[in-house]
Amino acid sequence: MMRSVVFTVAMLVVPVMAHAQAPAYTHRFLGSIQPGPINARAEVVGRTTVAGNLRGAVLRAGQPQQLLPLPPGMISAVGNDINDLGVVVGQVGAYYSPEFSGRAAAWYPDGNGGYSVVVFGVLPGHVISSATAVNNRGDIVGYSGNGTYRYPVYFDATGDLVDLTSTGIFDPVDVNEQRVVVDNSSTAKLLDLGTMIARDLGIPNPPGDTNYRATRTGAINESNQVVGSAILTTSTSCDRQATRYTDGVGWQMFSSCGPNNGANDLNDLGDMVMLVTITPHVRFEGGGLFPLESLIVNDVGHWFAVTTTSGWINNARQIVMYGTNPTTGQTGALLLTPEATTSIPTDDVPARALRLTAEPNPFGMRTSIRFTLATAGSVDLTIHNVAGKRVSRVLASAWRNSGVNDVVWDGRDSEGLLVPAGVYFANVRAGARMAHCRLVVLR
């Protein structure tokens, strides 16, 4: 029997304080395009227009934008999310275009610098679908619609749609590596795709308090922290606060009220990007709250953050934002990277993040993959090709001590055969944590 578990939550207000010294960020202009999520490789999915039709694109520093290919007969597409292996999900026949009846789609790197596109269907009797999020395990979630209502769905490995309506969730917005989905219903819910059991995070009200009436969510990280907006009942002109939910803590408020205030994204460190009084900000866990444009080291003119969205952030604390520079005449996606000399205080950050390296890299016959664990635990280490397909499991459910661990990969696949020369990715998972490392095999 499926059941929904409802948790009583507390609400904490965290003082909104800016750190005395803002960290310094370098910038790279990625193109005149509206940016979206950023992955661990600093690849950004965005959207532009071509011949009047909406098109999804992938942006990389120092490279021209790469349009996502269209299937035959389609003239438009959007990308909604990108995982660390470069897989993009979204919709073809985008709803902004004359092709109203769009279909969910996924774009997989083909290993030759291009993409192959897979188009999904709709639930019986429906006319539209869209993929909204993908994790590194290849789980894809989104919705299917009948023209009036949208229904939450999971796109399985065969391309079939699994209706998630019976679980109680609505509008999936993100999915993490633990296969936990967060939705955008009036009280945010988490759905475990493994058990199909949902739990309701409730409205962020202390006992007896009715100041808040709903939440709107943006993202989930590997600790199942959720960010978004808390919507107040006490105002119509100043009705939203940036908020974050943490298991064992409950909802915390990280901004004053405002008509558009809210957090859009977070990383595994708990850093958040958010709108505060219509200005994009970043809050570094343990390091303060800053307007995004205040971090940028400007060489020519000044970069202003455009307030259409607060931006996105990855685990390396790289941020992508939509900016404009009147001096250079550029407006579009801007990639912000912490300067090598920048130190962001992290005194309040638990030692949770995995670190992963390989030496030698590139390599011919073998490499030592090194990872650092904050606590001892069970570890899985797998190797994937650029298309996201697993080619080898080097270490499976092995117990490893805290600290530095080394595992040798001999460059062979699961059948014991040497893999071809090319680019691969080592993925290590320890509990709720996951890290990735790019490997180059020479033959």
The token duo for 138 is 């290849």
95 has a pLDDT exceeding 70: no
210 has a pLDDT exceeding 70: no
- Output the pLDDT for position 100: 57
- Output the pLDDT for position 398: 83
| CATH superfamily, with its number, for domain 355-441 | Macroglobulin (MG2) domain (2.60.40.1930)
| Average pLDDT value for residue range 18-22 | 58
Other beta carbons within 10 Å of 211: 16
Percent of the chain having pLDDT more than 90?
A: 52
| Average pLDDT value for residue range 378-399 | 81
- Output the pLDDT for position 367: 93
* CATH class entry, domain 4-338: mainly beta
Q: Where are the domain boundaries for CATH 2.60.40.1930 in the chain?
A: 355-441
Give 106 or 268, the one with higher predicted confidence.
Answer: 106
- Output the pLDDT for position 436: 73
387 has a pLDDT exceeding 70: no
The token duo for 105 is 């789609």
Q: Where are the domain boundaries for CATH 2.130.10.10 in the chain?
A: 4-338
- Output the pLDDT for position 66: 96
Bond before 23 cis per omega within 30 degrees: no
6 has a pLDDT exceeding 60: no
**Alpha-carbon distance 181 to 136, whole Å?**
13
DSSP 3-71: -EEE----EEEPP----SSPPPEEEEEEESSEEEEE-TT--EEEEEEETTEEEEEEE-TTS--EEPPPP
Q: Which pLDDT tens digit goes with each residue over 392-421? A: 888 877 888 877 889 999 999 988 999 998
119 has a pLDDT exceeding 80: yes
- Output the pLDDT for position 209: 61
- pTM assigned to the model: 0.75
Q: Which pLDDT tens digit goes with each residue over 135-176? A: 998 899 999 999 899 999 999 877 789 999 999 999 999 999
- Output the pLDDT for position 91: 95
